[in-house]
Amino acid sequence: MQYFVIGAGIWGSVIAERIASQMNEKVLVVERRPHIGGNCHSSIDEKSGVECHRYGSHIFHTSLPEVWKYINQFTSFTNYHHTVLTKHAGRVYSLPINLHTINDFYGKSLSPDEAKAFIAQEIAKEGLGSEPKNLEEQAISRIGRPLYEAFIRDYTRKQWEREPTELPAAIMKRLPVRFSYNTDYFSDTWQGIPRDGYAQLFKKLLDHPNITVQTNTAYEDIRDTIPSDALVCYTGLPDALFGYSLGELTWRSLRFEWETHDVQDFQGTTVMNYADSDVAFTRIHEFKHYHPERAKVYASKATVICKEYPKTWQRGDEAYYPVNDERNTALYEAYTKLAAKNPNVILGGRLGAYRYWDMDKAIENALHVFETKIKR
Amino acid sequence: MQYFVIGAGIWGSVIAERIASQMNEKVLVVERRPHIGGNCHSSIDEKSGVECHRYGSHIFHTSLPEVWKYINQFTSFTNYHHTVLTKHAGRVYSLPINLHTINDFYGKSLSPDEAKAFIAQEIAKEGLGSEPKNLEEQAISRIGRPLYEAFIRDYTRKQWEREPTELPAAIMKRLPVRFSYNTDYFSDTWQGIPRDGYAQLFKKLLDHPNITVQTNTAYEDIRDTIPSDALVCYTGLPDALFGYSLGELTWRSLRFEWETHDVQDFQGTTVMNYADSDVAFTRIHEFKHYHPERAKVYASKATVICKEYPKTWQRGDEAYYPVNDERNTALYEAYTKLAAKNPNVILGGRLGAYRYWDMDKAIENALHVFETKIKR
């Protein structure tokens, strides 16, 4: 049996590592982009020395012991804890909406129970029915109108390029609201940034004599050379695999604008959201704050920031987020049925599975797929 | 040789553990209080199930690899990261003073460099000389008058029971001010709370067949039974050891008022400072927030809080903080000279060394003293 992995993102890299180390089989990894690591890719900005996450901020966090144990074979992690801030109407607030946000926004110092009662009043004022009809109603039924209009409305418009009243309530189902001052963005057992960066992590994952990596190589470039009995683990667009024969899946994409500034600290934090419509981007990442322990780079008077603009995906764009609505779910199902006709093809990764996965979920799934479908 | 450790706090417990495990010698630990653990002592509140730090909040944090490795033999740590908030004039602010505090306080959204320039202006307004004459001038020369009056002046009065103009500038030398949104109270490599609590950690430290622990036993109770060639590691008050013959060392003490409340969450965070003079306590601790991972206890509608009141130490009070001014430094020196006359007595621990030590520094010192003065 020969093994091919299409795409050197986290899912594909873990699959390749397992095949190489656990089955002692050779595996060819091909990657369309000029680098490994998929959207986790990082590289050092030459001028500032800052390690930049080239496809937006990536923070590793997990509560899965087997994933934590697995990934720690290839890197150690810093003690970084992620927090997010947002600018609204010339002030800075803590996200997700928590007791600090509520008290700052309303100019109060309510206790947790007082804040719950206060927000319940704000919600009651709106007199909404029990079944929210859209994202706006869903959000208002959780936090009331003033907080919705400040922190959710315009940001959602920017993120989805649609009116919140036209978006399904389901998107906001898990809008987190905390009545404590806990500002940790993640509540997982383990959290951090790979100490030597993501680029180094992927280099180690794929550093095995059984693994050959070809970057700048698309699936189409090698498709005809793959023997019919080889196993292909495909992490690209599912619809592209079948020539879009059943139609095109919908994705959300992002555009990044990079800037270097000659200041030690541009914004004082890793991620600053922009809640209002006066700027078109949704957030600014400042990557040096992911590695305060790199003291020399951190202290230097140069920093790299990147403005993130959401955009509707078009063929040729990088696909970031699946749009798991009814149409797309059905279409993806149809493609998986096509794929199932060829037992030598496994669809995987965030793209192949048409799922929004955090890094740990991608690793968990890769380990599971390896154990149940590949290992023998 | 026989080994005696006076006081079962962190320094004494580490010394005892080392003697027992590394020298395979028997050691008697006597502890005046009814419990081991010194000021790190924790116990479970029966009604709420909340583990309470009985002498105020203790957060373990260190950047010392040998200390981290040592203590992890006896406990694992949670992922807890400490932050501190403060109430002032009916609003809640983040501490130590950082960009969020500054922007909230002044109603702005300054960038790091803008905030630096702004605070520099605030300082310049005061026209202070280059040598601050007291704590007030020291603080104003770092953050300007408005922030000083809001966050430092009244809190310092409560903490020291003296006017900031009468306190030495040195106390405030390291007043931390951050021009970023980093709200981590500690910046050490490792941080957390012992997963099974401090009580359990000390139980494990002292759980060795060579170690005998006698609680409710003062040094005076066993003094006459100690052979003259025994080694005594003494962690009590240095002046008490010599009958206060050269005079009394000065300490700061604390008084705690405990309350149980029938609410899930009283204040939304572990430590809330009270910056203003309208309340006499300096802070309220709410201990359930140290263990959010204890989901059942965390969710239950009962919580334990404790109000912390600073007080001047008097004989019989618990001694918390040394007052390392000129008089006391000289007096302590004199007592160490007395102690040096008896090579079989080692003064150690926070009290015996008359030093303000974090837990990791106490462990580091105990390991060092063991290696250099005890091990043979």
pLDDT per residue as tens digits for the range B271-299 = 999 999 999 999 999 999 999 999 999 99
Q: How many contacts, defined by CB atoms under 8 Å, are there between A and B?
A: 107
pLDDT at A325 (0 to 100): 85
Per-10-residue mean pLDDT, chain A, length 376: 96 98 98 97 97 97 98 96 97 97 98 98 92 93 96 95 91 84 93 97 98 97 95 96 95 96 98 97 98 96 98 92 91 95 93 94 98 94
Least CB–CB distance from A265: residue in B112, B187, B188: B112
| pLDDT over 70 percentage in chain B | 100
Query: Which residues from chain B sit within 8 angstroms of residue A293, using beta carbons?
Result: 189
Other beta carbons less than 10 A from residue B146's beta carbon? 13
Question: H or E stretch including B277?
Answer: none
Can you list the residues of chain B whose pLDDT is less than 70?
Answer: none
Per residue in A162-208, pLDDT (tens digit) is: 999 999 888 877 778 999 999 999 989 999 999 999 999 999 999 99
Give the closest of A81, A111, A266 to B81, CB-based.
Answer: A81
Q: B23: closest CA among B218, B231, B223? A: B231
A79/B183 touch (CB, cutoff 8 Å), yes or no: no
- pLDDT reported for residue A171: 80
Candidate from B81, B179, B187 with C-beta closest to A268: B179
Q: Is B63 exposed, middle or buried (0-12, 13-18, 19+ CB in 10 A)?
A: middle
Residues of B with CB under 8 A from a CB of A: 79, 81, 83, 85, 87, 90-92, 94, 99-100, 103-104, 107-109, 111-113, 179-184, 187-191, 263-269, 289, 292-293
- Residue B173 has a pLDDT of 72
Question: How confident is the model at residue A193, as a pLDDT?
Answer: 98
Classify strands A91-95 and A84-88 as parallel, antiparallel or unpaired: antiparallel
The pLDDT of residue A376 is 83
CATH code, A3-36+206-250+322-374: 3.40.50.720
- Is the peptide bond preceding residue B96 cis, with omega within 30 degrees of 0? yes
CA dihedral B75, B80, B86, B92 (to 10 degrees): -160
Residues of B labelled catalytic:
174, 178, 252, 283, 308, 356, 358
Q: What is the ipTM of this complex?
A: 0.90
Residue A180, C-beta contacts closer than 8 angstroms, at least 6 positions apart:
A98, A99, A112, B265, B268, B269, B289
Helices of type H across chain A: 10-22, 65-71, 99-106, 112-125, 135-143, 145-147, 154-160, 198-205, 219-222, 238-241, 295-299, 326-340, 349-352, 359-369
Taken in order B93, B96, B100, B101, the sign of the CA dihedral is positive
Q: What is the pLDDT of residue B171?
A: 79
Count of C-beta atoms within a 10 Å radius of residue B301: 10
Domain residue ranges of chain A, discontinuous segments joined by +:
3-36+206-250+322-374, 97-174
Per the annotation, the verdict on A33 as an active-site residue is: no
Interface touch A269/B103, C-beta < 8 Å:
no
Q: In the prediction, which pLDDT does B1 show? A: 81
Query: In Å, how far is A331's CA from the nearest CA of chain B?
Result: 40
- Backbone angle region of A107, left / alpha / beta, with phi > 0 → left and psi within -120 to 50 → alpha: left
Whether residues B92 and A85 touch (CB distance < 8 A) is answered with no
Contact B269 A183 (CB under 8 A): no
Query: What pLDDT is stored for residue A31 in this prediction?
Result: 98
Q: Is A321 a catalytic residue?
A: no
Going through A204-282 in order, the beta strands assigned E by DSSP cover 211-214, 231-234, 251-261, 271-274
* Contact criterion met (CB below 8 Å) for A268 and B179: yes
Q: Between chains, do B111 and A182 touch, taking CB under 8 Å as contact?
A: no
Q: What is the pLDDT of residues A231-289, one digit of tens each?
A: 999 999 999 999 999 999 999 999 999 999 999 999 999 999 999 999 999 999 999 99
**pLDDT at residue B142, as a whole number:** 93
- Say if CB B194 and CB B201 are below 8 A apart: yes
